Structures are given as C-alpha cells and as structure tokens.
Amino acid sequence: MVDIKRCFYTTIHSQTISSDGRFLFCGSNFGEILVYSIERITSSNDNGTIELEKLPTFPVQVFPVTERCAIYSLSFHKDFLIVGLNGEIWGYQWSSKSASIGKKVWVVRLPAPPETADMSEVNYMWLNAAEETLYAGCGDNIMYAVSLEDGKVVRDFRGHTDYIHCVDGCGSKLATASEDGLVMLWDSRQKQFTAKIEPHTKPLLQRPEFGRWQGTVSLTEDWFVCGGGPRFSLWHLRSLECTVDFNYSDRVHVSGFIDDVIYAGGDGPMLCQYNFNGDVTAEIPISGPSAYSVALQTSPYKIMAIAGASSQIDVCTNFTYRDIILNTYKK
C-alpha cells in the first residue's frame, strides 16, 4: 500500500519508451519512475476477474530514484534508461527480460551555474540516437550536448536569458523553447543559433493574460510548431513565416507531429489534433487539468500515452481517442 497522497497529488512530468518498444516509463513529482508493459496494455482491455496487482493498467515496477526532486525528463538509449535531475543526468541499466530497472551505471554532471551553488534542473532531453548525442535543456538557460559514448559534455548552446522548457530535433537541426519567450533554432554543427523567433511580438499570437513564455517546440524537416503563453502556431522552417495560428484556447505545454497531423496539449481538458490548415481532426479527453508530456510510437505496438497533473495516464491505441487509462498507484 502506498502513501495516499500519491494517489491524489501525483504529477507526471516526463515519459519515454524503451528501445524495443515494449515498455513505457513515467517520471513523477515524487522522484519515482513507473514502468508499464506496453504489450500487456495493448493486448486486451477486458481483464475479467484478474487480480488488481496483475492488471495491465498498473505499473510492473515503481522505482524510487531520489527524494530531493521530481523526475523532470526521461530518455532511453540501447539498454539504458536516462534520467534528468538537478544538475545531473543518470543512466540506469534496464533489463527487458526481467522488466526491471537495475543499478545506476553512469552519471553526467553538468557545469554548475557560476552565480549560485544550486544545480539547475534538466527540464527536457532530446536524443539523437544515430549520433549517440543527448541534448539537455536546463534551468540555467543553456542546452548541453552530451556524448553517450563517454558521458562528457561536448558542447553548450547559449542564447536564452531564462530557463529552457523544451528541446526538439530533426537530424542536425535543433530547436529550443524558453521562459524568455523565444524559440531558437540551431544547427548542431554550429556554435551560434541560426534563427531566433519571438511569437509574442506577433499580434495574432499575443495573449498577454498568459505571458510571453514558450513551453513547447516540435520540429520536422520543413516545419515547426510552438506555443506556451502565446497562441499555438505553425511556422515554415525556411522562411520563418507563421502560416497557421491554432484555435487552442489554453496555455500549451506539449506538442508534436504524427505523420500529417499536429497535436497540442496543456492547461485544458483535451489533447487536440489538427491538420496543417488548422482544422481540428480529433479531441482526446485527458484525466487531469493539464497535460505535460506525450510518449508515442507506431511499432511494434501503436500507442500514445498522455500524462500530466494527474495520477492517471491516458492511452490511445489508434491516436484519435482514449481507450485505456493507466493508474500510477494503488489506493
């Protein structure tokens, strides 16, 4: 039995999926990682009289990482679960055979901010698996490139004046979204940013009641979307022109592309999907008041997991409606 407060005050800040596509990992505000079997989740929604502990909607493992901070960000590479914390990135051995997180096998310590003794949090991580490089957006306003071959910080990307909320990439192209209201575009081969976007300066995107901050950015070869306080919007990557402002009425925390569909979620009761003209194609209800992360894959199991300010995680197996709800803790 777990502390009852975990059932009512859980927030899932981050998610990731194992390299083989069989397991979902969720990082909580209590410093724990919850592990779910995607195979079990997607195999059947009718479990009859199966015991509570064996229901596929409960985690197969709850792994305590730290009591000093939330699990801000997660990633996965080969056989390692990668965890972003305060000023450090930890790598844990993962065993698919036993479906369990093993011992911590490596630690990357990020440079401490010179003006304070406090370590800045690793808010978001994006993995370039082909180059074995992890990009971490942090609370010290810097994005760090970490080589997973030797665990060393090989680059830092400076330009933001406030903490970074989100990092995304496509090949050598990178994008960051920050509390300072900027979306910055980068090339991993260059030291300086290649472009700087200020959505809050565009009259159509301004929402002064929500502020100027940018909570999310997602990137493809030709397009990117971003949002936060300003309206959620679609931009052409080469011309840097805003082509669509979406009718998402709340603050935006998460976004992405699924083939020819764009999704956005945040402080609202729905995760919304749009086409490139801005038309709504689906509205997926979520269990909590806010969505903070989305994890998805198309194979070997098709799944989209939506998590946020709730002890439940909403799962779509066809990407258009919610058909499964995962539970984090047993009451």
pLDDT for residue 241: 97
52 occurs within a structural domain: yes
The pLDDT-based confidence of 114 (bands split at 50, 70, 90) is low
1 occurs within a structural domain: yes
Percent of the chain clearing pLDDT 70 (strictly above): 92
264 occurs within a structural domain: no
- The CATH number of the domain holding residue 99 is 2.40.128
Please give the average per-residue pLDDT across 20-29, as a whole number: 97
- List, for residues 244-294, the tens digit of each pLDDT value: 999 999 999 999 999 899 999 999 999 999 999 999 999 999 999 999 999
Please give the average per-residue pLDDT across 311-328, as a whole number: 94
The pLDDT-based confidence of 144 (bands split at 50, 70, 90) is very high
pLDDT for residue 3: 63
Measure the CA–CA gap between 281 and 297, rounded to whole angstroms: 19
- Give the position of tokens 């439940």: 312
Please give the average per-residue pLDDT across 193-215, as a whole number: 97
- Give the C-alpha distances (Å, rounded to integers) separating 79 from 69, 105, 207, 266: 24, 11, 43, 31
23 occurs within a structural domain: yes
Q: Which amino acid is at 121?
A: E
75 occurs within a structural domain: yes
Strand ranges for 241-297 from DSSP E: 242-245, 252-258, 261-266, 270-274, 280-285, 291-297
Please give the average per-residue pLDDT across 187-195, as a whole number: 93
Provide the domain limits for residue 93: 1-111+294-330
- List, for residues 42-73, the tens digit of each pLDDT value: 885 544 433 444 557 899 999 999 988 999 99
Do the Cβ atoms of 125 and 135 come closer than 8 Å?
Answer: yes
Measure the CA–CA gap between 289 and 236, rounded to whole angstroms: 31
- Does the structure show a pLDDT above 80 at 315? yes
Q: How many helices (H) and strands (E) does the chain have?
A: 2, 28
Half-sphere exposure of 247 (CA within 13 A, CB side): 9
pLDDT for residue 85: 96
Cα-Cα-Cα-Cα dihedral sign, residues 194, 199, 200, 202: positive
59 occurs within a structural domain: yes
11 CA to centre of own chain = 13
Measure the CA–CA gap between 271 and 265, rounded to whole angstroms: 5
Tokens standing for residue 148: 């997973």
Measure the CA–CA gap between 43 and 24, rounded to whole angstroms: 15
Peptide bond between residue 300 and the one before it cis (omega within 30 degrees of 0): yes
Do the Cβ atoms of 61 and 102 come closer than 8 Å?
Answer: no
Mean pLDDT of the chain: 92
Q: How many domains does the chain have?
A: 1
150 occurs within a structural domain: no
194 occurs within a structural domain: no
- List, for residues 289-299, the tens digit of each pLDDT value: 999 999 999 99
Please give the average per-residue pLDDT across 100-113, as a whole number: 91
pLDDT for residue 50: 39
52: phi then psi, degrees, rounded to nearest 5:
-55, -45
Cα-Cα-Cα-Cα dihedral sign, residues 3, 4, 9, 12: positive
Q: What is the C-alpha R_g of the chain?
A: 19
